Amino acid sequence: DQPVCIYVTTKDCFAAPRVWWTLRAFQHDNVCILQGGLPAWEAAGGPVEAGEPAEAALEGPYPVPKRAEFVADADEILQQSNGIVAGESQAQIVDARPAARFNGEAPEPRPGVKQGRIPGSVNFPIKTLFADG
């Protein structure tokens, strides 16, 4: 379980938590996120280098066993959605997109993705988790 530290170059980037979660979902638990990202590292006097990075040396194949409790397939979500709409399920399906996209009032940035939400889902925009929005 090789240690992995994830960092980003801006404080408001959501990529680091997504990478952290993905590694955890595939049973790589020795992972952390550098609080404040690269700006905090530089502010603390951490060294920064330029140019092509050295190739990382990984030992052997990297297994990716999935934690079943971390993911659900479309059939499972559809079953929960139907149960919520029918008032037969206490499950929660949470959509972290901005409210306008959740409500189908703003276009989706990715081609082919329909506007709107999964029936019975609730909106909890990810940016509400951050003090500066």
Tokens coding 25: 């979902």
Total-model pTM: 0.70
pLDDT confidence of residue 63:
65
* Section 79-104 average pLDDT: 95
Please give the pLDDT value at position 36.
87
27-60 tens-digit pLDDT: 888 999 998 889 999 999 999 999 988 877 656 5
Percent of the chain with pLDDT over 90: 55
DSSP 56-124: P---S-------GGG---HHHHHHHHHHHHTT------EE-S-HHHHTT-S--SSTTPPSS--TT-EE-
